[in-house]
Amino acid sequence: MNPTACLLVIGNEILSGRTQDVNVQYIARRLSETGITLSEVRIIPDIRAVIVRTVTEARAAYDNVFTTGGIGPTHDDITSACVAESFGVPWVHHAETFRLLEAHFAPGEFNAARQRMATMPQGAVPIRNSVSVAPGFSMGNVHVMAGVPRIMRAMFEEVLPTLPHGTPVTSRAWHATGLYEGALAAPLEAIQNHYPTIDIGSYPYRLDETQRGVCLLCKGTDAQAVSAAATAVRDMIARLGFEPYEGEPAKS
């Protein structure tokens, strides 16, 4: 069994619809490639009690917890203090990070707000990165990252290689234009039952106003079984009288 992960997206700007999240897909793909199962994503607001409760639940339930958002210098950046509260440890200046940030700013500019970015749960390990001077941090199995996508990615790529991981997920897809889900459901279920360790997904698409089709995706950690299941899917498409195409269709 691969290790599990939960992602907590912390930020009112996602829940209000102001911002289109793009971090979920990036993290989801990279975890999948690395052999860590993303079991759940929770998008929660900048409310102290909610963040503390959710972090506490998630770190008990999953091998890894990632958070994005809420680690800047302003009053709405409360993730770091909430993680300290979840672990029941003080929220304190991290000496090395403090010095690093102090050296970065011009004299007089390293104010109280910026010093917050050097404040972490006691015992946290900074996640330094090439994009931002202010680091994220890991506290136990909780990995706290920025919400800004390019900073998040830099932090994530630092921490990912340090985590225990399992077998990467491989996938193969076949698609068929003109074929409808309702016509293939029964034979597809038979294939799924024959390959219980493989996750077979059925995703309808439309090419244009009139042309529809379906993409059938086999994935799992056993590459040989993925391949065998995909072959069975291809043969099923042909048996139903449609032309199987490998890969994913260009979708509208």
The footprint of a second copy (CB under 8 A) covers 9, 12-22, 24-32, 38-46, 50, 72-76, 105, 109, 111-114, 116-117, 148, 169, 171, 181-186, 188-189, 192, 199-204, 217, 219
Which residue has tokens 């890969």? 247
Smallest CA-to-CA distance from 216 within 194, 201, 198 is with 201
The least CB distance from residue 85 to a second copy, in Å, is 19
Name which of 42 and 123 has its Cβ closer to a second copy.
42
Name which of 19 and 211 has its Cβ closer to a second copy.
19
Angle at 61 between CA 193 and CA 116, to 5 degrees: 135
Alpha carbons 13 and 74: distance in angstroms, whole number:
15
Name which of 114 and 128 has its Cβ closer to a second copy.
114
The least CB distance from residue 123 to a second copy, in Å, is 25
The least CB distance from residue 26 to a second copy, in Å, is 7
The least CB distance from residue 47 to a second copy, in Å, is 9
Contact 226, 197 (CB under 8 A): no
Contact 218, 171 (CB under 8 A): yes
Q: What is the CA radius of gyration of the chain?
A: 22
Name which of 24 and 207 has its Cβ closer to a second copy.
24
